[in-house]
Amino acid sequence: MIPTSFPPKQEIARLTARMLLEIKAVHFNAKEPFVLASGLPSPTYIDCRKLISYPRIRATLMDFMALTVMREAGFEAFDNVAGGETAGIPFAAMVAERLALPMTYVRKKPKGYGRNARIEGAMSEGERVLLVEDLTTDGGSKLSFVDAIRETGATCGHTSVIFYYGIFDETIPNLREHGVELSYLCTWWDVLAEARAQNAFDEDTLSEVEAFLSAPRAWQDARKS
């Protein structure tokens, strides 16, 4: 069902952060930082994949994602919804259902046999495709998916995520340089504010997280092993 109510963006951000905290998808550890896929340290880690196991939360967030896309991109802006392998696939399916659109997914690389395809499902030349993912940090992984979609002759000028780090200045400019706009529900700043409101972590941890969010590259450089 297509959502018809439109909460303010700030309320969507607050509620999304609250849900992520409630299911313990948010992890803060300043004493023993997490190691990201880039190999760099971080006192924050988020696991959006957990959302698929919570029906009420996932339904609400997918409503939020659908209406955010309609509000920011348009009500008749897309012909197809594509999920990025693997975390984006379930969310793309749920958003496609709400927008009453076909759903496809994009592999990270060709599967190496059969048709050797990166696009699974039916995607046609000229279709306007919305790329759905769980999160984005600097936007880099999105560009590979966008390029794969464009190789079919379809267009892709918009990606939507549940969670956007919101701390790297280059993310949105890099996406826009590639002709892609970004929609998202909340950022680390929203999560930090809600964590403080709930006293979800001790103040020393929250202060260290804030220091990281304010200057992530400097924080990481100071802690490289």
pLDDT tens digits along 92-116: 999 999 999 999 999 998 776 656 6
Tell me which long-range contacts 210-216 makes (C-beta under 8 A, separation of at least 24). 212/42, 212/43, 212/44, 212/167, 213/44, 213/167, 213/188, 213/189, 216/42, 216/167, 216/168
182 sits in which H/E element: strand 181-186
Task: Please tell me the pTM assigned to this model.
Answer: 0.94
- Residue 112 is predicted with a pLDDT of 64
115 burial (CB, 10 Å; 0-12 / 13-18 / 19+) is exposed
Task: Determine, yes or no, domain membership for 4.
Answer: no
CA distances from 153 to 32, 73, 89, 121, 182 (A): 46, 20, 21, 15, 21
- Contact (Cβ atoms closer than 8 angstroms) between residue 152 and residue 123: yes
pLDDT tens digits, 167-190: 999 999 999 999 999 999 999 999
- Written in H, E and C, the secondary structure of 120-168 is ECCCCCCCEEEEEEEEECCCHHHHHHHHHHHCCCCEEEEEEEEEECCCC
| CATH at residue 145 | 3.40.50.2020
Task: Determine, yes or no, domain membership for 1.
Answer: no
95 sits in which H/E element: helix 88-99
> What's the mean per-residue pLDDT of the chain?
93
Task: Determine, yes or no, domain membership for 115.
Answer: yes
DSSP state of 83: E
Q: Is the pLDDT of residue 139 over 80?
A: no
Confidence of residue 155 (pLDDT cuts 50, 70, 90): very high
Q: Which of 104-118, 129-143, 188-202 comes out lowest in average pLDDT? A: 104-118
- Residue 205 is predicted with a pLDDT of 94
> Which range of residues forms the domain containing residue 119?
9-222
- Contact (Cβ atoms closer than 8 angstroms) between residue 9 and residue 184: no
Task: Determine, yes or no, domain membership for 109.
Answer: yes
Backbone angles phi, psi at 157, to 5 degrees: -120, 15
More confident residue, 30 or 193: 193
Q: Is the pLDDT of residue 31 over 90?
A: no
* CA-based end-to-end distance of the chain: 50
pLDDT above 90: percentage of residues in the chain: 81
The two tokens of residue 171 are: 């993310």
Q: Is the pLDDT of residue 210 over 80?
A: yes
Task: Determine, yes or no, domain membership for 149.
Answer: yes
Rounded CA-CA distance 93/83 in Å is: 7
- Residue 115 is predicted with a pLDDT of 66
Task: Determine, yes or no, domain membership for 154.
Answer: yes
- For the chain, the domain total comes to 1
The two tokens of residue 24 are: 């313990």
Q: Which of 17-31, 112-126, 209-223 comes out lowest in average pLDDT? A: 112-126
Confidence of residue 223 (pLDDT cuts 50, 70, 90): confident
Task: Determine, yes or no, domain membership for 53.
Answer: yes
Task: Determine, yes or no, domain membership for 97.
Answer: yes
